[in-house]
């Protein structure tokens, strides 16, 4: 796909990403915004997102983000990035539904091809990686490069997750050649935490519990914790990954209580567990090693249900390995 060719004669374009936008979502949305501003200046480009973290405010176009679609706004094309289903853009779904043409650029294996044109690469590290491949590489500006690099480091955990490929590193290297301050981007947007963020991280780790003979770890952040520390869900970044790197863990689970009493569930795995398959059962989605969903119920019941599913997958893996061993020695 070439994104400008795909847009054709479109004059009014809307761009959005998933609710609670993270680094890859914000990076891909603003990366496309900057690329179109640079290379298709006649297009009226409109960016719609729930407000991203201020840690990403260095990205060019951050101040152009709108949190509400204008009444009766009509789009020739509406582009959704880093999003696997239409319910994940709910605040801006009307703009999508009323557009003459819809496009989705994504990397989630759970994507249900909800747009007219779907460019979904589940093997890609990030939406920013998929997006970059729709650009003319020679027309990528420094502003666009900062956005693409930001999205890639956030969804690869600064290149440490298994979704990182040679192609991922090649794109990152090209962005670095554009003169971006890559070390500052990593420190300030990915690693830096406020004092209160470190407090809630410490509390979540202190109150975590290990199950299934040390293979599953979980922690719960309740609404009263949000109120006590004066935080929101964006302040929980990094907790699930710190749980995941606990020695011996195959699956990490983080639950946090939402305003409506439901629980947002984030899951991460190391090698043996497909957490996207578990998330799908609860109406969520994601990737094999990183997925999430929203669940109604008591948190301990939710954790035990997920743990049983993890145990089932691990038992199946063990049975397969035993079968392979028996065949080799028969």
Per residue of the chain (330 residues), give pLDDT as tens.
999 999 999 999 999 999 999 999 999 999 999 999 999 999 999 999 999 999 999 999 999 999 999 988 999 999 999 999 999 999 999 999 999 999 999 999 889 999 999 999 999 999 999 999 999 999 999 999 999 999 999 999 999 988 999 999 999 999 999 999 999 999 999 999 999 999 999 999 999 999 999 999 999 999 999 999 999 998 998 999 999 999 999 999 999 999 888 999 999 999 899 999 999 999 998 888 999 999 999 999 999 999 999 999 999 988 887 777 666 766
Q: What pTM did the predictor assign?
A: 0.87
Domain boundary among 147, 166, 191: 191
Range of the domain at 203: 195-319
Q: What is the DSSP letter of 116?
A: S
33/77 same-domain check = yes
Q: Are 213 and 180 in contact (CB under 8 A)?
A: no
72/119 same-domain check = yes
Domain boundary among 191, 207, 241: 191
133/207 same-domain check = no
Number of structural domains, the chain?
A: 2
| Residue at 324 is within a domain | no
CA distance linking residue 55 with residue 64, whole number of Å: 16
Directed axis angle between helix 23-39 and helix 142-156, to 10°?
Answer: 160
Rg, Å, the chain Cα set: 20
Is the Cα torsion angle 192, 197, 198, 202 positive or negative in sign? Answer: negative
CA distance linking residue 53 with residue 3, whole number of Å: 27
In degrees, rounded to 5, the angle at the alpha carbon of residue 43 between the alpha carbons of residues 95 and 76 is 35
Is the Cα torsion angle 269, 227, 197, 210 positive or negative in sign? Answer: negative
128/254 same-domain check = no
235/309 same-domain check = yes
74/168 same-domain check = yes
Tokens of 72: 């009766």
């Amino acid at each position: 796909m070439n994104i400008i060719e795909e847009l054709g004669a479109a004059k009014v374009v809307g761009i959005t990403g998933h609710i609670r936008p993270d680094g890859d979502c914000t990076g891909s949305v603003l990366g496309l915004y900057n690329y179109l501003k640079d290379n298709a200046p006649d297009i009226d480009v409109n960016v719609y997102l729930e407000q991203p973290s201020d840690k990403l405010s260095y990205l060019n176009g951050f101040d152009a983000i709108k949190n509400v679609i204008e009444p009766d706004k009509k789009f020739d094309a509406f582009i959704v990035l880093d999003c696997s289903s239409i319910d994940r853009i709910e605040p801006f779904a009307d703009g999508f539904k009323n557009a003459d043409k819809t496009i989705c650029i994504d990397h989630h294996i759970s994507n249900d091809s909800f747009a007219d044109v779907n460019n979904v690469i589940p093997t890609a590290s990030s939406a920013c990686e998929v997006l970059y491949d729709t650009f003319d590489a020679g027309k990528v500006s420094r502003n666009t490069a900062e956005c693409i690099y930001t999205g890639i480091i956030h969804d690869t955990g600064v290149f440490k997750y298994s979704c990182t490929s040679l192609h991922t590193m090649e794109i990152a290297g090209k962005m670095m050649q554009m003169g971006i301050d890559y070390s500052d981007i990593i420190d300030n947007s990915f690693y830096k935490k406020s004092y209160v963020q470190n407090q809630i991280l410490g509390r979540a780790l202190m109150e975590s519990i290990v199950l299934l003979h040390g293979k599953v770890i979980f922690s719960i952040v309740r609404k009263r914790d949000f109120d006590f520390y004066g935080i929101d869900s964006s302040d929980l970044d990094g907790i699930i990954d710190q749980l995941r790197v606990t020695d011996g863990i195959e699956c990490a689970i983080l639950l946090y209580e939402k305003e409506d009493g439901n629980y947002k569930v984030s899951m991460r795995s190391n090698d043996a567990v497909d957490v996207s398959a578990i998330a799908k059962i609860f109406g969520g989605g994601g990737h094999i090693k990183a997925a999430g969903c929203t669940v109604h119920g008591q948190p301990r019941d939710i954790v035990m249900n997920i743990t049983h599913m993890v145990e089932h997958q691990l038992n199946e893996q063990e049975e397969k390995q035993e079968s392979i061993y028996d065949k080799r020695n028969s």
